[in-house]
Chain A
């Protein structure tokens, strides 16, 4: 009888303990926990050690999202042109995790372009594609179509939608790094940068827009960061192919001159806020023929990515 009572107490304890563990593990990971076995199999070549992973994570944080380059496109006065983007129908043919992740970056950049031009219908269509690809990569929890659609419906402009989608991509990147799948994050960032640079070159050359040429030229610094990031994944053949392609692009970027003339910054308080004024100046020499070379090179790289 005594033994029976002890067993009963022990069972009760085990049940309670299981409930506690289950409850707390689900609290600490709000995101949907999926079976990553299939993904990790195909991504195993992209796994990196902890020190390299930390470096990759730092470099990822330093790379500007596509929205920054693409905001210049609107300022150039160029009309909205959906035909320069990667068509949503193309998404069907991306079957590997590499193609899905890198094209998720491409579509993310396209979505930013569409949002900047305030085109709701196209935005929702591209958002659907982004959701589909992110679900395939088990990171679909960061995009809730209905919520984003409601935000788009309730706002006359899509500024908040732009902020939400950029922020969701950021969350997705952080999550992938936490999950030791930073190679997917690296593909997405590279894809996004390639697409934004391609669109900026296309529009810049069409409009012969000097500020856009300078923005393109500044990508010389970002390209160094991307090459550093890709070099973290030496065992990943896809990363190495991208590295080789972008290294060729770097040869062209080396023809661009960026010089800074330093001057002490000044600090002022404006409306209770601290405003720092940079008194240095950057001189950028970006000839049109070099921009054309960059366009040719990035078009070839993009063609390989979008297939």
Chain B
């Protein structure tokens, strides 16, 4: 009887662990679909950031090119991931929160070539992804 209990406890813990891990594949698929006529470039997984923390990525943006950063989260609202885009001088370019509204994507019509920084944080979600696409 004791052994059977141990088996069930093991099963429960294992399944709990499996569910607590973030499956980003469906989010990547959804976020890639949001790119429309933008060509896929990169995926940024935001599963390291915890509440109050942020995670940063960089990318070399090219002048006269439009970029789209689409955002998706594990709750499906796509409003749980916040992104701030900074230019090569660390000046804030934009965030996806404007006038109290949260946007699930940012389109950036880039004119100045350089390395840009994307800082992601999460609110009320466990994990999220951001997909970057471009259009000439």
Which positions in A face B, CB cutoff 8 Å? Answer: 9-10, 12-13, 16-17, 20-21, 24, 27-28, 58, 61-65, 67-68, 71-72, 75, 159, 162-163, 166-167, 170, 174, 211, 214-215, 218, 221-222, 225, 258, 260, 262, 265, 267, 269-270, 273-282, 284
Select from chain B the residue with minimum beta-carbon distance to A116. B39
Find chain A residues with CB under 8 A from B65 CB. 68
**Nearest 3 A/B pairs, CB to CB:** A280-B112, A274-B103, A62-B58
Partner of A64, one of B3, B6, B62, B91: B62
Q: Please give, as numbers and ranges, the residues of chain B lying within 8 Å of A277 by CB-CB distance.
A: 109
Q: Contact partner of A12 among B3, B87, B91, CB < 8 A?
A: B3
Chain B minimum-CB-distance residue to A8: B3
**Bound form: Cα–Cα A64–B21 in Å:** 29
15 contacts across the A-B interface (CB closer than 8 A): A24-B17, A58-B57, A65-B41, A68-B41, A167-B43, A221-B114, A221-B115, A260-B114, A265-B94, A269-B98, A276-B107, A278-B110, A278-B111, A280-B87, A282-B63
Interface residues of B in 88-104 (CB under 8 A from A): 88-89, 91, 93-94, 96, 98, 103
In the complex, which residues of chain A have a beta carbon less than 8 angstroms from the beta carbon of B60?
Answer: 62-64, 218, 221-222, 225
Residue B106 is within 8 A (CB to CB) of chain A in the complex: yes
Least CB separation from B102: chain A residue: A274
Interface size on B, residues (CB 8 A): 49
A174: chain B residues within 8 A (beta carbon): 43, 45
Contacting pair A62 B18 (CB below 8 A): no
The reply to whether B3 and A170 contact each other, CB–CB distance below 8 Å, is: no
Contact call A282/B94, Cβ cutoff below 8 A = no
Nearest Cβ on chain A to B91's Cβ, whole angstroms: 8
Inter-chain contacts of B62 with A (CB < 8 A) = 64, 68, 215, 218
> B77: CB under 8 A from chain A?
no
Report how far A218 CA is from B46 CA in the complex, Å.
28
B13, chain A: closest CB distance, angstroms: 10
Given contacts A27-B18, A282-B63, contact A276 B94 (CB under 8 A): yes
Q: Would you call B3 and A218 a contact (CB within 8 A)?
A: no
The yes or no answer to B42 lying at the interface (CB within 8 A) is yes
Given A162-B39, A273-B107, A276-B106, 15 new contacts (CB under 8 A): A13-B7, A24-B17, A64-B62, A71-B39, A72-B136, A166-B39, A166-B41, A218-B113, A221-B115, A260-B112, A260-B113, A267-B94, A274-B96, A274-B105, A276-B94
| Residues of A contacting B43 in the complex (Cβ-Cβ under 8 angstroms) | 167, 170, 174
**Which of B4, B7, B11, B88 gathers the greatest number of chain A CB atoms within 10 Å?**
B7
CA distance A193 to B47 in the complex (A): 28
Residues from chain B with Cβ under 8 Å of A214 in the complex: 63
Q: Does B122 contact A (CB under 8 A)?
A: no
Find chain A residues with CB under 8 A from B3 CB: 9-10, 12-13
Indicate with 1 or 0, residue by residue over B33-67, a CB within 8 angstroms of chain A CB atoms: 00000011111110000000000011110111100
Instruction: Check B14 for interface membership: any CB of A closer than 8 A.
Output: yes
CB-defined contacts of B21 to chain A, threshold 8 Å: 28
A28 to B98, CA, bound (A): 38
Tell me whether B112 and A282 are in contact (CB under 8 A).
yes
The answer to whether the Cβ of B32 comes within 8 Å of any Cβ in the partner chain is yes
CA separation between A60 and B112, bound complex, in Å? 21
In the complex, are the beta carbons of A274 and B98 less than 8 A apart?
yes
Choose one: A12, A61, A218, A280; the contact of B111 (CB below 8 Å): A280
**A290 → B minimal CB distance (Å):** 17
CA A226 – CA B61 in complex, angstroms?
A: 15
B120 in contact (CB, < 8 A): no
